[in-house]
Structure 1
């Protein structure tokens, strides 16, 4: 099933469209918009001064109007960057009126051609920068406006001009459609690849590395590593790339180093191989990752103690009893949550959790400087089927970090939740996001649990994408 609308090219999944818009705004639209605004303000100011002083203080209302729209657009985009494309489309339409400043009576013929071409090129930049559902109607309306204005000024109707306008519209719209579709397909491919890369650690619960032979640099690039310390020859003083390259160099299959196989004869490598590393026989598996032509190397028979060391039940009971009789101070609650995190670690049971009820419990337990608003976007009950105990550990640590940041005047005022088909989007509204992210990335419990819960790693926007597609269903009890 096509994931894009056939006519507008927008993604059918709202969360993917949101991520695409955020990336497009940050990488292209905002810098381009501010650059065009700066250029427009400068040139229009010069034009206003020139016309006012040379032509008996006559006011160029078209240029003044464009300056006002530019300043208004700057304010709107600064306040709400999601409106960047729409404001650029409005400015692009107003450029048509600027062209009315230049007529055959007040400018030389060749200069008239220069100004007309320049305005058209500036508009073309905006066409290609904005989405197809905005650029397509813009092209049609702009060409109709030019045709009508030219006919009125010339005093006659030109069939050749009409034919050229229609042909230009068809070709330009076709190219815009092809380019925007290709751009979105590339984003979708990268999004899926990033999602798969992030989930590989959960899917492959063994020591593995994802590698790619770089023909330009003539070296093996290490793209991803899981359980790096379980590769024979691991040295904590070296980076993970150097450790993996040393392992590949010292690993022999038959009478050849694995490095030689990968560089010169990768196609003849068997999927399952018996290898020797430091006089130790190990079984490895090699899989071709077709998305980016990389190779996944998995250590199959690494001896790892996977048995869970369960805490005796009588100790759990005594701890719970102790928690109940202790004073409900902030320090005691944080201690209780810390012990619970240790007890619940490494338990993979899947359950359905009432997210609203769980968040209300945390908001009532922790003390913040102001009221924290829980924005459910119209939903009354939101449930998530996931690794329940991991989610509790994860949220405990998140709230602990926020509680610690409150002492450094980091204002926390809202939690915003959006419920999509495949993801639950959970956004924190904090005044200092950098400070939170630094503590988040250093937290041991978060590092352990987030790979089982989130689709992609957390970024500076502090938006968590909780995965709804759980591979195994062990139980379905309600919390």
Structure 2
């Protein structure tokens, strides 16, 4: 959007905005404005004819004829209403000449105030540039008529006229800018509603709360049959309302949870089903809600405490050995690959710990540069598993390079590699060492079991040949 003219750069979007404003506001105001103008001008002509006062009627005749022409143009070409409204409003300033010299001052002031209120209505339903033209024309015509009829220039009147014009232009600019932003937000909401089924890969439904009926209304959804207790004989709206009453969170109905504008992952137990839901509030007022069936969480690996405890002791006892450490990390990865615990964590600190561990047990010296304050709210255990796989692929590459070097050199070589972490737009980017062969790395990366399971949950986009990892700074719906 142009900051000066407030026009959208996209011509189709500008045309859509004009059509929406014409149908919703400008067209009704124009016809009311013209109807009142015709009634007032015709009645003024009839009253003057009765009093035999014909000296000022030419102005009323001009305005009546102009109103008829403008109405005909607007009926035939509705898109031109913005221009016909502007012409009609500017021409209304000629009514200042429609008063005899013996008009009482209070009547003059009252008529002038009424005319100004009508003109202000036209300002606020017109586009910003059209309103500026109207304000300038009204100010100039008013000053010219006043100076011409009084044969006197009043500096105070001139300054007040200019000051009032500047103030109303500023107010109109702010109002029109806000109206266009509201239009854009509605467009974005409509686009989001249409694309939700593509953005969210899991079964979900979207509802909105109707304050008047005190109930949730169904908007759209995907794979609703996947939700436990869904009844195929009922409509989607009835089904969703039943589910909101049947699903309970620690004794509280899900619909009560939604009414309180709470969100996040919740555990549901109903009949023989145990599953997790993810609740997301949309918009500032949180009227719209999205409820996602988190099938990934409902399939989490559940280990008996009698199995967990020996594994934990075994890992603690063997973690000091080189190869055993990596083996233990593999066990941990298997246990936590479906753990969707959300936590705020510092990527810089996690990477620094991995650097120390891998530098200690290999001939690779890892070095990290970047912003130490970067933090992320995401699936903490999944990020750790993902980074373990990344470090192991890097280690594998340099170990293969070391084997090649040892064939030609007697002295082992130590590799010093640098990784960089920084923020760009909505992503935290980890730049992997540029000395790695991209084809080798991507081949190992794409075939890694854990990475295939985790990547789409924590990254903004897949890894490419530039070896930049884009971590998502906000939790995805998927």
TM-score interval, normalised by the smaller of the two chains: 0.5 to 0.7
Deviations 1:397-434 (A, max 9, x none): xxxxxxxxxxxxxxxxxxxxxxxxxxxxxxxxxxxxxx
> Once the 2 structures are TM-superposed, how far is the Cα of residue 298 of structure 1 from its aligned partner?
1.4
**Residues 287 and 295 in structure 1, CA contact (< 8 A), matched pair in contact too:** yes
Q: Does 1:134 align with 2:130?
A: yes
Question: What is the root-mean-square deviation of aligned Cα atoms in Å?
Answer: 2.7
Bigger radius of gyration, 1 or 2? 2
Alignment of 1:53-452 (within 5 A): 53-55=50-52, 60-105=57-102, 107-212=103-208, 219-235=215-231, 238-253=234-249, 256-264=252-260, 267=262, 270-271=264-265, 273-290=266-283, 292-293=285-286, 294-301=288-295
Could you say which residue in structure 2 is the equivalent of 1:17?
14
The structure whose RCO (Cα within 8 Å, separation 6+) is larger is 1
Cα 1:33–1:58 change in 2 (3 A) is same
> Once the 2 structures are TM-superposed, how far is the Cα of residue 165 of structure 1 from its aligned partner?
1.0
**Residues 214 and 220 in structure 1, CA contact (< 8 A), matched pair in contact too:** yes
Could you say which residue in structure 2 is the equivalent of 1:468?
none
**Residues 99 and 119 in structure 1, CA contact (< 8 A), matched pair in contact too:** no
- Using structure 1 for the length normalisation, give the TM-score: 0.57
Deviations 1:278-330 (A, max 9, x none): 4223343333435553431112439xxxxxxxxxxxxxxxxxxxxxxxxxxxx
**Residues 99 and 115 in structure 1, CA contact (< 8 A), matched pair in contact too:** no
Instruction: Structure 1: give runs of 5+ residues left out of the alignment.
Output: 303-470, 473-479
**Residues 51 and 58 in structure 1, CA contact (< 8 A), matched pair in contact too:** no
Deviations 1:93-112 (A, max 9, x none): 1111122111423x222221
Q: Distance in 1 between matches of 2:233 and 2:160?
A: 68
Could you say which residue in structure 2 is the equivalent of 1:5?
2
Q: Distance in 2 between matches of 1:219 and 1:35?
A: 38
Cα 1:296–1:52 change in 2 (3 A) is same
> Once the 2 structures are TM-superposed, how far is the Cα of residue 259 of structure 1 from its aligned partner?
3.2
Give 3-state SS (helix, strand or coil) of 1:33's partner: helix
Could you say which residue in structure 2 is the equivalent of 1:456?
none
Could you say which residue in structure 2 is the equivalent of 1:429?
none
Deviations 1:34-78 (A, max 9, x none): 111111111111122222343276682211111111111111111
Deviations 1:124-178 (A, max 9, x none): 1101110111001211221121112111111111111111112111111111111
Cα 1:37–1:234 change in 2 (3 A) is same
Could you say which residue in structure 2 is the equivalent of 1:34?
31
- Using structure 2 for the length normalisation, give the TM-score: 0.57
